[in-house]
Amino acid sequence: MPSTLTLAPAPTSEAAERVRLEVREFLAKELAAGSFETHVDTWLSGVDPDFSKKLGEQGWLGMTWPKEYGGHERTAMERYAVTEELLAAGAPVAAHWIADRQSGPNLLRYGTEAQRREILPKIAAGECFFVIGMSEPDSGSDLASIRTKAERNADGDWVVNGAKVWTSNAHHSHYAITLVRTAPADSANRHAGMSQLLVDLSTPGITINPIRILDGGHHFNEVVFEDVVIPGDMLLGEEGAGWNQVTAELAFERSGPERFLSTFPLFAEFARRASSPAELATVGRLSARLLSLRQLSLRIAAALDRGELPDIPAALVKDVGTTFEGDVAEEIRKVVDVPASLDSPDPLARALAEAQLHSPGYTLRGGTNEILRGIVARGLGLR
């Protein structure tokens, strides 16, 4: 019987397989030229604007968007093949990742014509980067409790006050699509009165403070707004419809291959060297889970191609996929005789250290898994 989690199989795509081979050839040349080194979790921590620009020149950003906005009118399955190959290679894709994955599609869906024509071609060229302005210091994953507010001034512009956290790579980015309260909170309808603003991060009154992770790396930030004046025409979509817009946006954020491939470079290095019965059994267990996750993620990509909004399966991919990412590091740690070290000349030791140090974030970013399980349960009518 069909259910909320039932999705049609993804169709085979010769075009996707062709572009997959093109990406592999490109990556092999870039690796041989020394333009990047393979690392774990590079869609979040691997910032390289020059590499993003190269991808733009190849036509691999904004792939599904209309040509009139700098896109290439290719399918979601072709885009999936490109992103999957980049993640598997541990390529430095963090600079453009948010803009290409969800900010651009959000602009296409809700943006004004002027916003689309000004910003989308820059994203597709790999020259304009975005961050997500949703989570707040006292809200966690409960977006309905945000307190950052925007009020109209006499000129019709927005004056923003508040703070956002976990804004990945805000210090390298140009814009933040920021969720704000444009009407007082209503206890009878916690999702009412929210809107999204397109915020230029160079605007006076914005302070970006680093939040460092366990290895000292800096990609998370706190972004503080103090009487920041945002032009009135930078409202994204409809005033007061922010909750519905964010819900749709999260389907793009939660379903992609980055939700189960962050630790793939570690898994690939381990699988290449596995020889003992315990190591080979670990390869088998992890491979079975990986292949299952990939099939569900591919079906969501195909559903997006059909214009559907598979938000419930997307929440499931994020929950199960990020749990898998942490399990990759833990299962490999148990069977290898290699001490994890960021300074080791052994690529397995370095990848294991990176995966372990980034592990606390896998199930938190993009909405905690506890919140996502609630979404799935609600979608299935269980709560």
DSSP 171: G
> What does the DSSP assignment read for 281-312?
HHHHHHHHHHHHHHHHHHHHHHHHHTT---HH
How far is 194 from 279, CA to CA, in rounded Å?
Answer: 50
User: In the numeric block, which tokens belong to residue 37?
Assistant: 């080194």
Tokens encoding 152: 């109209």
Residue 215 CB neighbour total at 10 angstroms: 12
Where residue 107 falls (left for φ over 0; alpha for ψ -120 to 50; beta otherwise) is alpha
Structure-block tokens of residue 63? 């792939």
Please give the helix or strand (H or E) that residue 178 lies within, else none: strand 175-181
| Two tokens, residue 31 | 């690796």
Residue 88 contacts residue 261 (beta carbons within 8 Å): yes
**Nearest one of 245, 312, 316 to 102, comparing CA atoms:** 245
Which residues have a catalytic role annotated? 253
